[in-house]
Amino acid sequence: MPYLRLYSPDVPVEDKRVVAKELIEITLRTLHLRPKERNQITVQFITLAWPDAGPSLEVFGHDLTELKKRAFVEEVGPALAHLLPMKPKSRIAQLLRIKAHPPRQVAIQFNELSPAISDPFVVIDDTKSRAA
């Protein structure tokens, strides 16, 4: 099932819930998953050490066709730009009352998972190799 890893500046827990819910909805819709697969989608948040870096998202899954990838990107990019916190204001920007802007772009990388990696019940039988 899909595994999403979001790299972004620090996000409060309440906001993480909202972002995760939106990512799960987009994943269900664009990757054509069944509603019962909702609980099999994993969203991991990784806090970036440098707050000025823009957010990025890694998507791991099966059968990620170009059509599915394109649909996902078209929906998730604007959603994350809207949901993620703005860049923190510098001291000077606060004094001058300059408003920060949300990130304009979100980097997205897709990775295909092999069935053996994502299936926790795969057992490798190496007894035949030992007996030889």
Question: Which segments of the chain have a pLDDT < 70?
Answer: 51-52, 85-104, 114-132
> How far apart are alpha carbons 111 and 61 in whole angstroms?
7
DSSP helix/strand/coil, 5: strand
Query: Does the reported pTM lie above 0.75?
Result: no
Element (DSSP H or E) covering residue 45: strand 42-47
Question: Cα(8)–Cα(86) distance, rounded to whole angstroms?
Answer: 10
Q: Give all strands of the β-sheet with 56-61 in edge-to-edge order.
A: 42-47, 3-8, 56-61, 107-112
Distance CA 13, CA 93 (A): 26
pLDDT, position 63: 85
User: H/E/C letters for each residue in 64-105?
Assistant: CCHHHHHHHHHHHHHHHHHHCCCCCCCHHHHHCCCCCCCCCC
pLDDT for 121 equals 44
Q: Where are the domains of the chain?
A: 3-116
Q: How are beta strands 3-8 and 42-47 bridged, if at all?
A: parallel
Mean pLDDT of the chain: 78
pLDDT of residue 90: 57
Domain 3-116, CATH homologous superfamily name and number: Macrophage Migration Inhibitory Factor (3.30.429.10)
